[in-house]
Structure 1
Amino acid sequence: MLTIIDKYILKRYLATFFVMLMLFVPIGIMANLAEQIGKMIDNEVPLAEIVLYYWNFTLVIGNLLFPIFLFLSVIFFTSKLANNTEIVAILSSGVSYGRFLRPYMIGATIIAVIMFLMNMFIVPPASVGYNEFKFKYLKKGKQDRVTTNIFNQLNETDYIYVSRFDPARQIGYNFSMERFNEDNTLNFKMAAANIRWVESDSVYRLTSYSKRKLVNGTEVIETKKRLDTIFNFKIDDLTPVSYIAETKNMFELNKFIEDQKRKGASNINSYVLVKYKRWSLPIAAFILTIIAVAVSSVKRRGGMGVNLAFGIGVAFIYIFFDKVFGTLAEQSGFSPLLAVVIPNVLFGIIGFYLMKNAKR
């Protein structure tokens, strides 16, 4: 059962967090608008699309900055409690430091649940509109996917390759497809100068088509100038957009990762990293809360300014470690799981150390 002190701290915890969120997100929107307004005017972007973009921007950026806002808000209101000697009064009344932390942990649990729901189900749909708008108007002409040397394994027997893919025209160049038997011998290989999806006929059109197949030890070659056929893949599946993992909810992302593993996708680590980060953010809410309370619960000569300066420094270090290990996972063979676990374990140890000192 919550006591008066619990309710008082919990109310300050949640109120400060949401006020900070409502203060800084509009500042982020205005800064982004000031930077991008020229491109929006040049591209004659409809007002309705701009409004929808900034709604999606609010969800995506707000979710991204949740841990930082949480950390700074806990430091802010706990420093005020310490400066007003309220924490000294609470601890002097016989309340243990662990008991004093209870409303903070309840608040962290509430924020962690919100972060989990945001990450898994609310932000992914918003990420679709956010990224599509960005590449359509703000990064016009820039590719949002890999377009050269694309290899895909469709299933256990079929492999496809295109040397270049044009997303705008939905055409793949220098297309080839190989099918293998169960004993890993080649069943057939087909090739074409290009492959294009014909929407009106719901078929794939192959130009300068050729097919080589072994029949009773004899090689049979079939050639055609044009062939309309059907494949069990979508043309966009040749190369998903770079932000595809961010647009899928928890269940869709798990299925997508399994499909990409089966296909032998070269950038599978970046998808797995997104999955693990979604699970790690709610945990970070507890770690950052403990660090923030340990740092700011002691009254200091410099007051709140010292605590906030320290908090901002720790926040940037946390972001730095997160980015470094994330980049290692995406661009090398480093484990995505370790890339997510190491920063949280490191800051968990720091939090435990700071809390032990704060108790003393």
Structure 2
Amino acid sequence: MILVRYVLKELIAPFLASLFGITFLFVVDFLVKILDNVLSKGLPASTVLEIFVLNLAWMLSLSIPMAVLVSCLMSFGRMSGDQEITAVKAAGVSPLSLIRPVFVVGMLLSVLLMLFNNWVLPEANHRSVELMNAVSRKKPHVFIDAGKLITQFPDVQLWVSRIDPSSGTLYGIQVFEQEFKGPPRIVYADSASMEYVDNGATLMFKLRSGETHVVDADDPSNYFRIRFFAQDLALKNVDDRLERRSRSYRSDREMPIEMMLDVVHDADARYDTALIEAKERRLSTLHELRQRITLDTIVPPGVKSPYTVDDTSKVRRSLSRIRMSEMSVLRTTERLYNRMETEKKRSAQYLVEIHKKFSTSAACLVFILIGAPLGIMARKGGIGTGIIYSLAFFVIFWVCLIGGENLADRLIISPELAMWAPNIIIGAFGIFITIAMIRDRFSGDSKFFRAIRMVGHLFTFITKRFG
């Protein structure tokens, strides 16, 4: 029992340190990509903090399994390097006795992470989307970014080629205004500036040197091209208050398992309905074709060869009607099978998210199965060893996970196999090195560990070079 407490105590500090470090990297990346625009647009500090806290949920769901692997590598590597593992073996205690309590704690952590991914993470994602929508209504220019189509404005879409970071001037403006009927009105401008008027209720664009292209809704043949030197574009009904509006719609990342299962059952029911309709349509069409062929026989009754001109015309008309019926059958069948494929993809998409919640939670156990024996056999500890060895397994796990998700969404492989394949692959490797640890087949200076270190250094170089 003393040995168990000692091992668990040794894991606490590396786990917390690695959890903080990995989460910090996610935070920095998030700040660079998202909050840079938000902070520069004058939002209150409380709103910025709320955005950060809500997005911290998905960061923790990713960083916790990673921290488990790093902490196992560091702790068991340090104990092996200080000959503590050797002393334990000399006392007649198997290294598996040291891994067993860690595995039990990992099971508890996996269950807690699964509950977190099912209850906390979807709600945090949902509230984050609601908050960002509220921010877009309060400060729509927050989301104006160069090289992206901006759709946050009501009935208006905006494209900006370049933004001057010092003055905020927009260059290469394209505005698409959708009227109640007819094609949109398109405005091109070389540059533009923005300001709020009417106490923040209207966002005014001051366009410079451009053209307006308009098509007459009543007579599409009338096309107008109007050049201007200066023109104002007012976007009204921009609420300067941060008004929260609840959203009834939730994406797959905003749903718990119970809600996603309802969507899967609905998609399966729609698929079965389309399949039955396709079979019924095919049978009824074949029966109709059989009757039509019987009625519109190619050789009319009582007519002898050779055919007359009227007989030949009747044959051609009969064949044309049959051909049109066949084309109608093909189009109807194609639409039905497209419906079936759509529902199948919708079901697979939500099944992927369901299994992902379980597989990423179970990754804690898989990483313990790898980290503990790998640290014992490597006979080296420290943050450097943990990072080098961990990078290779992190990349393998997440590449398999993301690649499997794409394949499952395209119905190439099943969602179950796509989400559990990374755990199966790395878990099988973990069992292999655990058996090797028991038999003392590898050492820290073997070719096996030199290859792992080489792969880790390669991933480190790629991350620094292209990250």
TM-score, normalised to structure 2's length?
A: 0.51
1:62 aligns with 2:60: yes
> SS where residue 78 of structure 2 aligns?
helix
1:254 counterpart (232, 247, 261): 261
2:399 counterpart (309, 320, 324): 320
Which piece of structure 1 moves more, 63-72 or 249-258? 249-258
User: What is the percentage of aligned positions where both structures have the same residue?
Assistant: 18
Amino acid of the residue matched to residue 316 of structure 1? V
Which residue is 2:302 aligned to? none
> SS where residue 377 of structure 2 aligns?
coil
Distance 1:302 1:59 in 2: 30
Q: Is contact 1:10-1:104 (8 Å) kept?
A: yes
Which residue is 2:197 aligned to? none
Amino acid of the residue matched to residue 123 of structure 1? L
> SS where residue 119 of structure 2 aligns?
helix
Q: Is contact 1:12-1:77 (8 Å) kept?
A: yes
Q: Write the deviation string for residues 277-328 of structure 1: whole angstroms up to 9, x where unpaired.
A: 1122232211110111111112547976445312211211111111111111
Q: Is contact 1:318-1:343 (8 Å) kept?
A: yes
Which piece of structure 1 moves more, 131-140 or 251-260? 131-140
1:356 aligns with 2:363: no
Q: Is contact 1:104-1:289 (8 Å) kept?
A: yes
Which piece of structure 1 moves more, 23-32 or 105-114? 23-32
1:7 counterpart (5, 8, 18): 5
> SS where residue 95 of structure 1 aligns?
coil
Distance 1:142 1:133 in 2: 18
Return the index of the structure with the highest Cα Rg.
Answer: 2
Which residue is 1:32 aligned to? 30
Residue 77 and residue 271 in structure 1: after superposition, are their counterparts in 2 closer, same or farther (change >3 A)? same
1:334 counterpart (413, 434, 439): 413
Which residue is 1:163 aligned to? none
2:76 counterpart (78, 89, 92): 78
Amino acid of the residue matched to residue 63 of structure 2? L
Q: Is contact 1:13-1:107 (8 Å) kept?
A: no
Amino acid of the residue matched to residue 117 of structure 2? N
Report the CA distance between 1:338 and its aligned residue: 0.9
Residue 306 and residue 38 in structure 1: after superposition, are their counterparts in 2 closer, same or farther (change >3 A)? closer
Distance 2:151 2:106 in 1: 39
2:95 counterpart (94, 97, 105): 97
Q: Is contact 1:326-1:340 (8 Å) kept?
A: yes
Q: Write the deviation string for residues 104-161 of structure 1: whole angstroms up to 9, x where unpaired.
A: 11221221122111111111111112344557657665679xxxxxxxxxxxxxxxxx
Q: Write the deviation string for residues 237-294 of structure 1: whole angstroms up to 9, x where unpaired.
A: 8xx66xx122122322222322343345343211110001112223221111011111
Residue 123 and residue 87 in structure 1: after superposition, are their counterparts in 2 closer, same or farther (change >3 A)? same
Which residue is 2:305 aligned to? none
Which piece of structure 1 moves more, 251-260 or 92-101? 251-260
Where is the strand percentage greater, Structure 1 or Structure 2? Answer: 1
1:20 aligns with 2:18: yes
Distance 2:387 2:132 in 1: 33
2:366 counterpart (272, 287, 294): 287
Q: Is contact 1:10-1:106 (8 Å) kept?
A: no
Residue 46 and residue 271 in structure 1: after superposition, are their counterparts in 2 closer, same or farther (change >3 A)? farther
Amino acid of the residue matched to residue 12 of structure 1? E
TM-score, normalised to structure 1's length?
A: 0.66
Residue 30 and residue 299 in structure 1: after superposition, are their counterparts in 2 closer, same or farther (change >3 A)? closer
> SS where residue 298 of structure 1 aligns?
helix
Distance 1:52 1:325 in 2: 33
Which residue is 2:43 aligned to? 45
Residue 30 and residue 349 in structure 1: after superposition, are their counterparts in 2 closer, same or farther (change >3 A)? closer
Amino acid of the residue matched to residue 247 of structure 1? E
Q: Is contact 2:78-2:379 (8 Å) kept?
A: no
Which residue is 2:387 aligned to? 308
Q: Which runs of 5+ in 1 are unaligned?
A: 145-168, 172-235
Q: Write the deviation string for residues 170-202 of structure 1: whole angstroms up to 9, x where unpaired.
A: x9xxxxxxxxxxxxxxxxxxxxxxxxxxxxxxx
Report the CA distance between 1:75 and its aligned residue: 0.8
Q: Is contact 1:80-1:304 (8 Å) kept?
A: no
1:108 counterpart (72, 91, 106): 106
Q: Where do 1:174-213 residues align within 5 Å?
A: none
Amino acid of the residue matched to residue 10 of structure 1? L
> SS where residue 369 of structure 2 aligns?
helix
Residue 125 and residue 94 in structure 1: after superposition, are their counterparts in 2 closer, same or farther (change >3 A)? same
Distance 1:299 1:29 in 2: 31
> SS where residue 267 of structure 1 aligns?
helix
Amino acid of the residue matched to residue 416 of structure 2? L
Distance 1:52 1:302 in 2: 38
Count of residue pairs brought into register by the alignment: 266
Residue 95 and residue 125 in structure 1: after superposition, are their counterparts in 2 closer, same or farther (change >3 A)? same
1:343 aligns with 2:445: no
Distance 2:5 2:396 in 1: 32
Amino acid of the residue matched to residue 124 of structure 2? A
Amino acid of the residue matched to residue 40 of structure 1? V
**RMSD value, Cα:** 3.0
Which residue is 1:269 aligned to? 348
Distance 1:143 1:347 in 2: 42
Residue 14 and residue 122 in structure 1: after superposition, are their counterparts in 2 closer, same or farther (change >3 A)? farther
Distance 2:381 2:17 in 1: 24
> SS where residue 413 of structure 2 aligns?
coil
Distance 2:34 2:360 in 1: 29
Distance 2:427 2:350 in 1: 25
Residue 320 and residue 298 in structure 1: after superposition, are their counterparts in 2 closer, same or farther (change >3 A)? same
Q: Is contact 1:91-1:97 (8 Å) kept?
A: yes
